[in-house]
Structure 1
Amino acid sequence: MLPSYQPVSREKKQFANCHLDPAFQTLTTPEKVTRLRGKLYFVLSCLVENQNRLVTRKQLIDECWGGNTFTGEKAVTHAICQLRKALKDLKIPVTITTLSKQGYVFTQIDLSTYSDFNTNNDNRISS
């Protein structure tokens, strides 16, 4: 059973080898600073804050789109897709797992046990 969801704080967050800066909405790795446009920063921030916890689509819509389900439903799917691509391109050892009909789980990858994390960053688990 996963720990319960926590509301997102607006403080800097660190994970893997990088950090998120809410003042500039940036993701910083040792090699690069990337500005996350639109709601991408807030979606990633919510996932990082709730690392190893289930984050439902409703929670993301409430946190990042102010509860606007009309805009939020398709936007969540699009944001997760864009984040997976960005994290993979930046070679950040994390994964966003889709739990079918439940939501998403953000986890760091232990590189000592998983040598090629870039081959499957689009994890989906059916219920």
Structure 2
Amino acid sequence: MIAKNNILLAEDDFDFGSILKQYLEIHNFEVTWCKDGEEAHNAFAKAHSEGVIYDICVFDVMMPKMDGFTLAEKVISINPEVPFVFLTARKMKEDRIQGLKLGADDYIVKPFEADILVLRLTNILKRSRPNLAKVRPDINEITAIGNYHFDAHNHTLTFRETVQSLTEKEAQLIQFFYENKNQLLRREDILSKIWGNDDFFSGRSMDVFISRLRKYFKDDSSISIASTRGVGLTFTIESSKK
């Protein structure tokens, strides 16, 4: 049985939202439908606290209590990896730019064909879930990285008694860096391998993840992630501390 994709839909138009929910469910989505931005934010935060992960979010821009842009900012602060799409009846260029600046994976103007939305969501999910088996071999062993112990399977990075939980993308990025340690990796190669594309918005997302990884590895001076301007990054582990 094929697992269903878990989607958070925020749409205040009852008739449109009801039809869209039914159509998405027909196409193998498990839909949580919220009628305003505040309800959607509460649903996302509650799910996150319970360990439930939404595969993708679809937000109407104009909603009561909290608009789609504000909702997206709050969702990103909880989980910066979740892909999201904006729906809007407005065709203003400024709205589209604002949505893309927030990191939206798509911006769809109403009216639209529901099957087009499904195709776009499916394509986004394919890009946002690079096959982990292609990034690392199928092993469950703990990897020693300097003075850290990295568990790619359980998404943890341990330093002495401190355990740092990792997101899937953080784990993928660490594994990719480790497998290509001490060599300059081009930004576009990292983006294509981990993010599935090398566009501007993915590049901004990668920079955020690199900053996190530098903080995670800060307690071992033998490990560094150096940037070569305009080229890429080098994950270095000094030989004396390997």
TM norm structure 1: 0.69
1:65 paired residue number: 195
1:48 paired residue number: 178
Residue 77 of structure 2 corresponds to residue 77 of structure 1: no
Check whether the contact 2:148–2:160 (CA below 8 A) recurs between aligned residues. yes
State the aligned residue count: 104
Check whether the contact 2:188–2:198 (CA below 8 A) recurs between aligned residues. no
Larger Rg: 2
CA RMSD, aligned part only?
2.2
What is the aligned counterpart of 1:98 among 203, 211, 227? 227
User: 1:22: Cα distance to partner?
Assistant: 1.8
In structure 2, runs of 5+ residues without a counterpart are 1-133
Higher RCO, 1 vs 2 (CA within 8 Å, ≥6 residues apart): 1
Letter in 2 for 1:81: S
Residue 146 of structure 2 corresponds to residue 19 of structure 1: no
Check whether the contact 2:155–2:165 (CA below 8 A) recurs between aligned residues. yes
Letter in 2 for 1:8: V
Distance in 1 of aligned mates of 2:239 and 2:205: 30
User: 1:56: Cα distance to partner?
Assistant: 1.5
76-85 vs 24-33, greater mean Cα deviation: 24-33
> Does the residue aligned with 1:101 lie in a helix, a strand or coil?
coil
In structure 1, runs of 5+ residues without a counterpart are 1-6, 113-127
2:158 paired residue number: 28
Distance in 2 of aligned mates of 1:25 and 1:55: 23
Q: Which runs of 4+ in 1 moved over 4 A?
A: none
User: 1:39: Cα distance to partner?
Assistant: 1.8
Letter in 1 for 2:234: V
> Does the residue aligned with 1:44 lie in a helix, a strand or coil?
helix
> Does the residue aligned with 2:212 lie in a helix, a strand or coil?
helix
Letter in 2 for 1:108: I
> Does the residue aligned with 1:39 lie in a helix, a strand or coil?
helix
What is the CA deviation profile of residues 7-27 of structure 1, one whole-angstrom value per residue up to 9, with x for unaligned ones? 732444322122221211111
What is the aligned counterpart of 1:37 among 167, 170, 175? 167
Distance in 2 of aligned mates of 1:111 and 1:52: 13
Distance in 1 of aligned mates of 2:214 and 2:176: 14
Check whether the contact 1:65–1:71 (CA below 8 A) recurs between aligned residues. no
TM norm structure 2: 0.39
User: 1:38: Cα distance to partner?
Assistant: 4.7
> Does the residue aligned with 2:167 lie in a helix, a strand or coil?
coil
Distance in 2 of aligned mates of 1:38 and 1:68: 19
Check whether the contact 1:53–1:105 (CA below 8 A) recurs between aligned residues. yes
More helix by share: 2
Distance in 1 of aligned mates of 2:136 and 2:168: 18
> Does the residue aligned with 2:174 lie in a helix, a strand or coil?
helix
Percent identity reads 27
Residue 237 of structure 2 corresponds to residue 108 of structure 1: yes
